[in-house]
Every structure is written in C-alpha cells, then in structure tokens.
Chains A and B, each alone.
Chain A
C-alpha cells in the first residue's frame, strides 16, 4: 500500500459518533484493514473490507469504495476506552517478493474521547 492518508488527530465526545477517513493509492489491491492501537500496546484487528460496501461489527463499522480509493471507520456510542490510535492498512502486491502481498500501515489517527 502506498500513499495511505488519514487524519493525524481527532477529538470526539463520549456517546457520540466519529468517522475516521482513509484514502489510498495502490496497485494489486487485496483488502483494507482497520486496527486499534492503545499507547504502548500491540495493534488489535477491528475490521476487514475487500469488496465495496459497509461491514458492521457491533459499535464499529467500516466502509470501502475501491474505485475511489477510500475507506472510513465509524465508531458509535463512543466510550472513553476508545481513545487510541486507529490504523488504516492496505494489502497490496509487494515490490519485494514475486507474487506476494504485503500489508502497509497508514500513519494512524489518534482519537481522543472527552467526557
């Protein structure tokens, strides 16, 4: 995945809804992932999109438009524990290994949930 772009920081209120956008430019697209990472911890998997449309999983939803190179992560009913970095990652054809795919992460969006 190359040129993965997402906002650096966002702030939202407890109980509200927040949308984190991600745009990408890549070749050999093979899926888009969202991960959550709390400070000092490893990333944890949230969602995966490979076809256009919306995937819903509890309070989290993720949307993909392959033609627009665009995805968003929607978090509903925000809780204080949702304060974390959210990483958009794209799996695409690797330049380092023939026939291989690799996952490349965006810089992440630091979400702060305030009371």
Chain B
C-alpha cells in the first residue's frame, strides 16, 4: 500500500465554521506533512510531524491547528478561517523526516466563503 489518503476531497466552509481535514497512510512512514498550495503556485510547507511530535511549524496562523493522533493519522483542524485561506491542502509522508521522497495525498480543496 503506497497511498496517502485525504478526506474530504472538497470542503466549503464559512468563516465562523469549525472543520477538520484528515490524512491517513499505512506505509509505516514516521514523518507526515501539511502543505498549502494556491493556484499556479508551488506547495508551501505548513507543518511537519516526526514520530508523532510537531517538528516544524512554519509560522502558520493559529486558526490552523494540526494534530497527530498516531503514526498513521494526521489531522488539520480549521477554525475562523479567512477567504484567502482557500487553497489545496496537501498531506504527505516520508519514511523519516530527513529521508526519502514525499508521497502526496490527492489533496483537500478548501473554499472559505
């Protein structure tokens, strides 16, 4: 199994809503990532978890809250988002934080109204 699965694929939410994006991998990878990608731009790193601990937070606003319940799961909790937060949110994993290529999920396309 070489897949990273993300749900939901599409999400529309208002600025006062609370929602979550979910990511799951069963490759035994110990590092998981959240990237944000705006149209016609490259993916930008948001968070890195290594062995279920937050390793990197790229100065992301607190309205984005990551969570890693176990080594296979990664969540991104969303609250009080702004329209400019509308983007494709990509989850990825690697065997270790400093090794191997990123395996990406298909992404969750978020629209904030």
Interface flag for B34 (CB, 8 Å): no
Q: A101-B97, A102-B56 are in contact. Are A42 and B45 (CB under 8 A)?
A: no
CB B72 to nearest CB in A, in angstroms, measures 19
Interface size on B, residues (CB 8 A): 22
Is A45 in contact with B56, judged by CB distance below 8 angstroms?
A: no
A77-115 interface bits toward B, Cβ cutoff 8 Å, 1 = contact, 0 = none: 000000000010001001011001111111110000000
Q: Which of B61-69, B78-86, B103-111 contacts A (4 or more CB under 8 A)?
A: B103-111
Which chain A positions have C-beta within 8 A of B45? 102-104
Q: A101-B97, A102-B45, A103-B45 are in contact. Are A96 and B103 (CB under 8 A)?
A: no
Interface residues on chain A, size class? 20 to 34
Q: For B101, give its contact among A41, A45, A101 (CB under 8 Å).
A: A45
Interface flag for A48 (CB, 8 Å): yes
Is A96 in contact with B97, judged by CB distance below 8 angstroms?
A: no
CB B107 to nearest CB in A, in angstroms, measures 5
CB A44 to nearest CB in B, in angstroms, measures 7
Task: Name B90's closest neighbour in chain A (CB-CB).
Answer: A42
Is A105 in contact with B42, judged by CB distance below 8 angstroms?
A: yes
Distance in angstroms between the alpha carbons of A41 and B108 in the assembled complex: 10
Interface flag for B25 (CB, 8 Å): no
20 additional A-B pairs beyond A43-B102, A102-B45, A105-B42, beta carbons within 8 Å, are: A33-B101, A42-B90, A42-B105, A42-B107, A43-B43, A43-B90, A44-B104, A45-B101, A97-B48, A97-B56, A100-B56, A102-B48, A102-B56, A103-B45, A105-B43, A105-B44, A106-B42, A107-B41, A107-B42, A108-B42
